[in-house]
Amino acid sequence: MENDKNDVLTLDNIDFNAFSDAVETGKVSTHDAVDVVSRLFVQHAPTAQAFFNTYKVELNYLMVSEAILAHHGQMIRDHHPGRYAVTLLGHAKNGNLRLRYAPQSPIASLLFERK
């Protein structure tokens, strides 16, 4: 996925407001929103490297997307995990999201925590 300037879309350069609006209006499906946010988290080198350095586990797409869907399903009953993904993206862009590895968690091995 690329932005208007043909640059690779990243956590740093995504237009959060435009993406959020696109998800809210249905221009971006829930599935695509979870997909994009999962890929952005995994491809964001500082996030992935910090996660690996802390837990000695590689952050991967399946881990992130599964966690978004699992946590949304447990906490929010609106049948729209794309909104939850956008919320996480907003926290991450503002530097207010911490990813924690919890392999014994009954919900998902990846937990999202606000700083």
Q: Dump pLDDT digits (tens) for 5-20.
A: 567 899 999 999 999 9
Q: Could you report the per-residue pLDDT of 64-85, keeping only the tens digit for each?
A: 999 999 999 887 778 789 999 9
Q: Could you report the per-residue pLDDT of 26-60, keeping only the tens digit for each?
A: 999 999 999 999 999 999 999 999 999 999 999 99
Q: CA 80 → CA 73, 104, 109, distances in Å?
A: 9, 26, 21
Per-residue pLDDT at 3: 52
pTM for the whole thing?
Answer: 0.89
- Classify burial at 39, counting beta carbons within 10 Å of its beta carbon; exposed 0-12, middle 13-18, buried 19 or more: middle
Between CA 19 and CA 15 the distance in angstroms is: 6
pLDDT higher at 74 or 106? 106
Mean of the per-residue pLDDT values of the chain: 92
Do 81 and 69 contact (CB within 8 A), yes or no? yes
